[in-house]
Structure formats: C-alpha cells, structure tokens
Amino acid sequence: MKLGRYLRVSIVCLLFVAALSNVMAQSAPASRTVVIRAGHLLDVKTGKTLANQTIVIQGDKIASVGSDAQIPAGAQVVDLPNATVLPGLIDAHTHLTMTTNFGYSRLGISVPREALTGARNARVTLDAGFTTVRNVGASGFSDVALRDAINAGDVPGPRMLVSGPPLSITGGHADNNLLPFEYHATSDGVADGVDGVRHMVRQDIKYGADLIKFMASGGVLSKGDNPQASQYTQEEMKAIVEEAHRLGRKVAAHAHGAQAIRWASDAGVDSIEHGSYIDDAAIAAMKKNGTYLVPTLYLSDWFLENAEKIGTPAELMAKARDVMPAARKNIARAFAAGVKVGFGTDAAVYPHGLNAHEFAVMVKLGLTPLQAIQASTINDADLLGWSDKIGTIEPGKWADIVAVDGDPLADVTTLERVKFVMKGGEVVKNLYVK
C-alpha cells in the first residue's frame, strides 16, 4: 500500500513540475534578436574582407553570418554600410585596477580604491573596442572583484580573465620594495621555494584566479631589481607551472632577461610577457615549446615622453631608458623568426583606452597588419583557452563585434578609432548613430 501511495504522489509531482515548466516556457520572453548589416566584414582567419554581410545575433551569441542571411521578423537592425566590422579585440596583458603611478605615492592607494579605479578603466577599455582582457596582476584580488562585478552587470567592462596577485620572490619585481625594513612590508604574492610557490598558486586559485602570473625576471618599474636577472629558479618555475596546469589554469610569465625567458618556456608556461632581451636561444626554446610571446611595445613611446613629468623615480627612469629601446630591437628579431605572438599592452604603464596604439608598433617591427590583428583575435583567443567563444565572427561565438571606418589592413591605425562596440549582443557604443 505504501509503495502504491508513493508512486501516486510521485506521478502527481512529476505532472505538476511538467505543467509548471510548460507554463514558464510559454511565459518566458524569447531571446532578443539583433541583426548587423555590415558593408565590410574582415575574416581574420583568411584575411579576406567580405562585402555586404548580415550577422544574425540571438541573445548573446552569433546565430548566422552571410551575404544571403534572412532577417528574422521583429529583429533590431543595426546598419553599418560604410564600416569595416571585425571581432571584438582582445588584450592579453592589462592591469585595469592600476594607473600611471610609479613612485612612492602608490603606497597610499588602498585595495578598495584600486577596485573602483578598475571600474573606470574597464569602461574606457571596452569603449576602445577591447571586449576581452587578461588582467595579469592586481593587489588584494581587486581584479577578481572587478571581474565579478562586470559579470553580474553591476559595472560595464570587457570580459576578464584575472590572475590576482602575481607570484614574486622576496625583494623581486612585484614585492613591496619601497618601504624600509622596520615596516616589514611584503606584497600579496610573495613566495619562495618549491613548497612556497605551490602554496601560493593554490591560494591564488582559492580566491578566484583564472590564471597564474609569476615574475620570472626582475622588472623595470620596481625598485632594486634587475630586469635581466632571473628571479625564480627553474625548479620553482616548473613547480608553479605543474601546479597551475594540474588545477586547470594557464600560466603567464613576466620575463625580460634571456635566461628567464628560456627557463620559463622550458618550464611550460603558456606565454612570455615582454621578452625584452630575447635572444636566439630563447627564440628557439619558445618555438620548440609553442610558447606565446606577448610583447608590450607602445608603452615605451608614452612612458619615455611622459614618465618624468608625473614624478617617476630616477632609478626607474634609468632602467626604462635601457630596457625599452633594446626590447624593440630584440622583439623584431623574434617576429622575423616566427615566434607565436599574442597581443598585450601593459595598459596602466600608459593611460587605459590607448591599447590599440600597440598595433602600429607591431607592424613597424615587422608584422603585417593582418598578423597584428590576428594576434589580438584568433591568437589571443587560443592563448586564453577561449577559441570556441571569441576571436572570430562565426556562429556559436559570443557576439563581441567592433567596427571602424576604412580598411584596417591598409591602415592599422584605424583600430585606434573604434566607432562601434558590441559585447554579448548588447550595443555599448555606436558613433554611427546621428
């Protein structure tokens, strides 16, 4: 008897759930449909510019692309007849919660203030056409908070993959080296030894990191360290990468010096950031290991012209005058050698929103305009592990789309003047509307 009663009750419950689901399905609003009619569309895979393309967007994803696509009834239509449309741009090296502040005054900036600064910089970056960024370093997990606020719709900004505090040796680049001993000041990500770095990788992931960033060499905008000197040992680098990859996180290594580049590449990092003193042996290691190079080149133009005006300490200026010109010469050799290239800017060393100035420098150093654009689309999508989500305008991808006047293959600086931005099917900027 009890079994029969349970069966009857179960059947009634299932019927109720089915009926409720049917009512909810009927009452739920259909996904919004948006159609972009593009006069020109750059296929970043082939380099071909296609004329008169119709992009049908259902909800936050692209449903179809083609010259003969039908416009669904009731769709919102965005006409861009004279523009060139291309995928939303990607910047794989940003610091949205930071600003151009390199001296002792940075000690007065709290983590909550960094997060609020990030909200401002996120909007500026999105308006510049960068719909996805990889944020590689922030204090106190302020970038995690910013990412989550953007994802929740609390503030506008690009999609973010974030590292939280980068790993650094004691006294190295990313440690707090500005205060004297009696303050006992140490930055969030400082970790030494194999056990120490394994613990720090786990801690970063515990508090929300999407990837791991570590300082393989000294840096430029930090006190008391040498950009050409390796910081972590190769054993420590291997431990970082093994732990991160085992836990499903990619790894970015800040590395200026040639030895640090080789060690980090051989340890299995996914990308080398900066690569200023890359040499033939480091190039060979990166090609063998399939490591991406994310050069950050335009920053030297802005920094060498403006940094003294904003009170940058003399020690940092001296390092910058040595490293930045050398980086351009060495990166040009890496480009010519065929190293895999991602697009990154180190925005925060110069004002956010100028990210697209990087394209012209990449072209000046040997890439074609198409190769530079591919670095910021299909290459960065691969580096981030999001090739199935971003990087091209194809069915099934997120509807992250930008548009510019003119032909970026003829003049890559047109990307510095993005006039239309869509993220996830939502138009966030349209200067074509009068």
Q: Which DSSP letter does residue 101 get?
A: -
Q: Are 49 and 42 contacting, i.e. CB atoms less than 8 angstroms apart? A: yes
Sign of CA dihedral 383, 388, 390, 391: positive
Nearest to 155 by CA among 141, 143, 138: 143
Spatial separation of the C-alpha atoms in residues 14 and 2, rounded to whole Å: 18
Residue 204 among the catalytic residues: no
Sheet holding 89-94, edge to edge: 89-94, 130-135, 159-162
Residue 346 among the catalytic residues: yes
CA distances in angstroms from 384 to 249, 292, 380, 391, 422, listed in the order given: 10, 11, 6, 10, 20
The b-or-e profile of 339-369 (16+ CB within 10 A means b, else e) is bbbbbbbbbbbbebbbbbbbbbbbbebebeb
Phi then psi for 342, rounded to 5 degrees?
-105, 170
Residue showing tokens 């991160």: 244
**Choice among 175, 213, 250, 397 that is catalytic:** 213
Sign of CA dihedral 214, 218, 219, 224: positive
> Taking the chain, what is the end-to-end CA distance rounded to the nearest angstrom?
74
What's the token pair of residue 114? Answer: 């960094």
**Choice among 188, 204, 346, 380 that is catalytic:** 346
Cα 400 from chain centroid (whole Å): 14
Spatial separation of the C-alpha atoms in residues 79 and 103, rounded to whole Å: 47
Q: Are 86 and 41 contacting, i.e. CB atoms less than 8 angstroms apart? A: yes
Spatial separation of the C-alpha atoms in residues 218 and 3, rounded to whole Å: 72
> What residues are labeled active site?
213, 346
